[in-house]
Structure 1
Amino acid sequence: MQIPEGKKIYFASDNHLGAPTKEASLPREKKFVAWLDHVKQDAAAIFLLGDMFDFWVEYKNVVPKGFTRTLGKLAEISDSGIPIYYFVGNHDLWMNGYFEEELNIPVYHKPKEFTFNNKSFFIGHGDGLGPHDKGYKRMKKVFTNPLCQWLFKQVLHPDFAMRIGQYMSVKNKLISGDEDATFLGNDKEWLVQYCKRKLKDKHRDFFVFGHRHLPLDIDLENNAKYINLGDWIQYYTYGVFDGENMTLQTFTN
């Protein structure tokens, strides 16, 4: 994809709407919608890298109540012709067609490579990558197992299932995969280690992830960069690619 002159690509991650309650997250949701209004003016594309919701599960004819401001704004932007790409995170693993059918937004369950203006990108949420968190990796295999998902939806009424999911999303850190958002240093940051390992196989100019809730811009070998987008809970940071350079910025509106 060649980015038209004057256009940019935007990246955001980790809104966790609904946490700790829908009422408490409403100001953050309104701020995120204001950001979407801001970036749509010159966006060539928008990438959302997961955990937009603190818990999300889709049934055949049922989706979680709420978040209409966000979903409506995404529909408006998508309908205007600006492509939006969504990567599921560890809190919204159970997306199953709603975004594609209702919003025309493709959803990815694994990291994916893109090329913009001859710059290569490796993009994903970031959970379960690198030499880390084996307990969560085992739990993720259970959560993504089609039989386990089917049983969860068949056995539990949606209201009860949502209460369980919301409770576990906040309380059980093994299941959620969350960690304290503390910078560990380049040698111990497991996504940095993952990027370095991937660079041995193939060069990428930018590795862009969320999940860590830390805005990070780290130089790797051969002019590659690891960018972590931070979050929309504490930092309100997002990524911008102008066709040549990738930077982190803060939305202050």
Structure 2
Amino acid sequence: MEIPKGKKIYFASDNHLGAPTYEASRPREKKFVAWLDEVKQDAAAIFLMGDLFDFWFEYKTVIPKGFTRTLGKLAEITDSGIPVYFFVGNHDLWMNGYFEDELNIPVFHKPQEFTFKMDAEHSQSTFFIGHGDGLGPDDKGYKRMKKVFTNPFFQWLFRWLHPDIGVRIAQYFSVKNKLISGDDDAKFLGEDNEWLVAYCKRKLEEKHRDYFVFGHRHLPLDIQLNESSKYINLGDWIQYYTYGVFDGESFELKEY
């Protein structure tokens, strides 16, 4: 991907809009929309790294109510020619065409590699990008649960529930997580105990990447993996309001 001179690439993750309630998350949504409005001025591309919504499930003809400000702003941005890329998280993985058809936003269900070349004066940089859930060692319970969530048969069964029932049940279990509702802090476990650090180091054995960028942990992290590779975690828009920006030379975590 060639990026024009003076432009930047932006990254954000883990908004969890709708948690703990629609009303309580409305100020956070307005703040995020204001951020989108600001970064579109010099954005070459925007990467949304999952859990934008605390729950999202696409029925054949129905999507969850709400989030009009966010969806409208994203439509405005893509209509202006700025590409937006979406990586599903563990709370909004049930996407099935709405973002692609209505917002012109590609949706990725697995980590992807991107190579950015800002202009002729800069060497290219390789990014490995994803939400981050279910990666690395351990967390076997969640990995088993994710297989159920992504199973087409179980998704088909869920679609038989009326949306008013299905969405309410899913929202109830979603906000039971204290981290998501903002009642608890994610804590840094030490580099040796961070599963995504272990995952990135293993991926480096296969191939060099300059940056590994993930969300999911709800912690802004910038960890040097070796002399030329970094692991970045974007934090969240519940407590930290952090985002990433790449200007062609370096990656920086900032607070909005």
Under TM normalisation by the shorter chain, which class is it? over 0.9
1:171 alignment partner in structure 2? 176
The offset of 1:180, in angstroms, is 5.3
Provide the C-alpha distance between the structure 2 equivalents of 1:134 and 1:201, rounded to a whole number of angstroms: 23
The offset of 1:103, in angstroms, is 0.1
1:79 alignment partner in structure 2? 79
Q: 1:243 aligns with which of 226, 244, 248?
A: 248
Q: 1:143 aligns with which of 142, 146, 149?
A: 149
Q: 1:205 aligns with which of 210, 213, 226?
A: 210
Provide the C-alpha distance between the structure 2 equivalents of 1:59 and 1:227, rounded to a whole number of angstroms: 34
SS at 1:226 equivalent? strand
Equivalent position amino acid for 1:98 in 2: Y
SS at 1:16 equivalent? coil
Identity %: 80
Provide the C-alpha distance between the structure 1 equivalents of 2:70 and 2:93, rounded to a whole number of angstroms: 18
Provide the C-alpha distance between the structure 2 equivalents of 1:126 and 1:132, rounded to a whole number of angstroms: 13
1:104 alignment partner in structure 2? 104
2:187 alignment partner in structure 1? 182
Cα deviation 1:172-202 (Å, max 9, x = unaligned): 68xxxxx951000111111001000000010
2:223 alignment partner in structure 1? 218
2:137 alignment partner in structure 1? 131
Equivalent position amino acid for 1:62 in 2: V
The offset of 1:113, in angstroms, is 0.2
Gaps in structure 2 of 5+ consecutive residues = 118-123, 179-183
Provide the C-alpha distance between the structure 1 equivalents of 2:174 and 2:139, rounded to a whole number of angstroms: 17
Q: 2:197 aligns with which of 185, 192, 196?
A: 192
Query: After the TM superposition, which residues 30-49 of structure 1 pair with which residues of structure 2 at under 5 Å, given as runs?
Result: 30-49=30-49
When normalised by structure 1's length, the TM-score is 0.95
Provide the C-alpha distance between the structure 1 equivalents of 2:26 and 2:175, rounded to a whole number of angstroms: 17
2:91 alignment partner in structure 1? 91
Equivalent position amino acid for 2:15 in 1: N
Equivalent position amino acid for 1:199 in 2: L
The offset of 1:93, in angstroms, is 1.0
Equivalent position amino acid for 2:31 in 1: K
Q: Which segments of structure 1 move beyond 3 Å, counting only runs of 4 or more?
A: none
Gaps in structure 1 of 5+ consecutive residues = 174-178
Cα deviation 1:142-200 (Å, max 9, x = unaligned): 0000011001102x111000001101112268xxxxx9510001111110010000000
1:66 alignment partner in structure 2? 66
User: How large is the RMSD of aligned CA atoms in angstroms?
Assistant: 1.1
SS at 1:187 equivalent? helix
SS at 2:10 equivalent? strand
Provide the C-alpha distance between the structure 2 equivalents of 1:93 and 1:167, rounded to a whole number of angstroms: 17
